[in-house]
Every structure is written in structure tokens, then in C-alpha cells.
Structure 1
């Protein structure tokens, strides 16, 4: 999902008053410097509101901004009713999850291929909205330690090159999170954006540790959605 193009929309003028509204449930905002990046999860499309970062603040699905700005957003179809509590971004990762030396692990290997058979082989036919719906299904409370998550991640790293079909960050994160959830664990799936040049990226985290990436690499991205 990196280097995905995004559209620019109406610019915003500054004002001093503040009011509160809620984003439409399928939209996500991220303030990046003076701009606001918008992700529409129904279409997997990004757009930009130039200058909006100077006049509004984002708290999950809540927008705090001058009423004229909210009116512009309302007219543009950005606002709706409260969609309930959204997942909060985890702390910025400060370390990569330490992975054990890859070894033959029959349980982890079996779990990997089962997860790939269920999800990896049909990835190309799935929309972002469909993937998110799968990962938002309730799961039991996590029963895996960080060490157990690291063991599964190490098996994933070893086996992924042998799986038919490959993909970028979205594919890897979807498949690895499926593997971990199938084993009874859970990790945060973080989507981030940067601008000038624009790019989008996603990664998995447990606490302050990034599973499938490096802290320095993801540090340049501002979280826009967390699953």
C-alpha cells in the first residue's frame, strides 16, 4: 500500500471558535503537519484536506473545529453519527520484537499453512473493507505471551518466502495477524501515512514493539487507523 496516490480537496481557512462533531464510521483522519489525510476504508482511497491541520483536532472519531469548518466537512460527507469507540494507536514503537533463531516448529508451521490456506490464497480477491471486517470480529482475550508471539513471527518470516503468491505490507500484516489470532493471541494492526511525497504503510505492534518491520522505518508515518 506504499506510495498510493491521494486526491487533494477543499482548503480550509483559520478561525478561533471550536465545536465537536463525529466522523462518518468508514472514514479516518490523520493530522500531518498542516494537512489532514483522509482514509475511506470502503474504497481504500486516500485524500488530502490542505491546511485543515491548522484548524481542527482529531480524537478517534471526534473532530474539534470551528463551526464553519465542520459545516464544510458536513457538506462534503465527512461527518456522521458517533460510531462508537475506535481503537487507540499504541505507543510509537521503540524496538523491533526480538525473534528467536528460526527453527523447525511443527505446530507453528501447521498454523502458518492453515492461515495461508484460509486467507493468503484468496487475498487478491479481497477488498480492504472485507479484510477489516474479518479482523474486527471479536476474539478471545489474548493468551499468548510476547515470547510466543515472537515464536510465531519467526516461523512466519521463515515460511513466507515459500508461500505461493507474495504481497506488500497489507498482505504480510493480514496474514501474520491471522496466524497470531488463530493461535489465541492479538496484536495491533496500525495503518500510517506520510506526505510530500505521500505514502501509506501498515505494520503490526505488540506494546512498543513492531513485529514485521523496523521502528526507524515506521516512525516517519502518522497513524490513521488501528485495528
Structure 2
């Protein structure tokens, strides 16, 4: 589906396109390999206050428009542009820590606030990530996730494959649309 995002009207529309079948095994994410990263209590305890802060910050986005979410994601993108590249192993360990700490969250977050919380968490730790919102039809649904160097970071590739991205912080055209 070719999708067009209208940030001013807080809506999107799409034109169906035919997709080719994909081999999910070939697309497996490097970050899933670290989901079994050994529990390091001291490491997790040190990052827990930052985790709670970004979770509370992201929770406030439940009532905000796509445009305001996009503007804040753009600010993160500008901040990330100044950061040096972080090794995949370090990012994967941080994502594993984030996923472990989610079990201690006192309130649930849907995919957009959770992906924003993970983005804020990674940015606070000096990592770059691409925040993505995608949509699909039949049944119509929207979903958000993070990508790092093209690999899905905080979700499973099979969960996000059927969604067409309508908002990406790493896309220059998107940044012009938000700024304009």
C-alpha cells in the first residue's frame, strides 16, 4: 500500500499495492539474538530510574496528535545526528535491558508510547534509532516500532512486515514535512 500522511489533519490515506512474498528467516533482526542477555542486576538497577522517566514521559503521548509526536521525534533525530555510532552489541544489550525493565512498569504502554520510551531510553544512552509508524489494511491497523540500521530493534520482523511506514525519523522527506 502506498500511504500518504497528512500531519496537519492528523490522518493518513492509502492506495493498495501488490507485495512480493518475503523470507522472514532471512530478515531476522540482529537485536533478537540478544534477548537472552544474562540478567545483570547492577546494570538494570542503575538504568531503572532513567527507564521510569522515559516511560512516564512517553505515557503523556497517548493524548497527542501525530504531528506533535513527529515534532518531538524530529528533535530526537537532530540530537542523534550529533552522536557517534554505537556498536550493535551495545545497542542490543540496552534493548535487552529495556525489555527486562518493562516487566516492572506500573502501567501498560501501547506501541507508540512504548516505542517512544525505547527511543528516549536509547538516545539518553547515546544510541541512534529510527522511530517508525506504519499502517496496514484488511484489517486496518497502525503500529509503531524502532529500527537501527534497517533492522527492527524493539519488535519482531514478522510483526512489522505487513505495515507500510507512514512516518520515519530517518527519512529526509519526512523531516521536511514536519518542519514545513
- TM-score, with normalisation over the residues of structure 1? 0.58
**Structure with greater Cα Rg:** 1
* Total equivalences in the alignment: 152
Q: Are 2:117 and 1:175 aligned? A: yes
Instruction: Determine the C-alpha separation between the residues in 2 that align with 1:165 and 1:188.
Output: 25
The equivalent of 1:131 in structure 2 is 69
Instruction: Determine the C-alpha separation between the residues in 1 that align with 2:59 and 2:139.
Output: 32
Q: Are 2:125 and 1:187 aligned? A: no
Select which of 69, 87, 101 maps to 2:38.
101
The alignment yields a C-alpha RMSD, in angstroms, of 2.5
- Please list, as runs of the form range in 1=range in 2, the aligned pairs for 1:1-227 lying within 5 A after superposition: 32=1, 36-48=2-14, 94-96=27-29, 97=31, 98-99=33-34, 100-104=37-41, 105=43, 106-117=45-56, 119-137=57-75, 138-139=78-79, 140-227=82-169
How far 1:121 moved relative to its partner? 4.3
Greater strand share, 1 or 2? 1
What whole-Å deviation, never above 9, does each CA across 1:97-140 have from its counterpart, x for those lacking one? 122234321333233123234x1342334332222212211212
What whole-Å deviation, never above 9, does each CA across 1:10-45 have from its counterpart, x for those lacking one? xxxxxxxxxxxxxxxxxxxxxx1xxx4332234442
Gap change, CA 1:206 and 1:102, over 3 Å in 2: farther
Instruction: Determine the C-alpha separation between the residues in 2 that align with 1:164 and 1:215.
Output: 27
How far 1:170 moved relative to its partner? 0.5
The equivalent of 2:175 in structure 1 is none
Residue 108 of structure 1 contacts residue 152 of structure 1 at CA under 8 Å; is this kept in 2? Answer: no
Residue 193 of structure 1 contacts residue 221 of structure 1 at CA under 8 Å; is this kept in 2? Answer: yes
How far 1:177 moved relative to its partner? 0.3
Instruction: Determine the C-alpha separation between the residues in 2 that align with 1:39 and 1:202.
Output: 14
Structure 1: gaps of 5 or more residues: 1-31, 55-92
How far 1:49 moved relative to its partner? 5.1
Greater helix share, 1 or 2? 2
Instruction: Determine the C-alpha separation between the residues in 2 that align with 1:48 and 1:207.
Output: 26
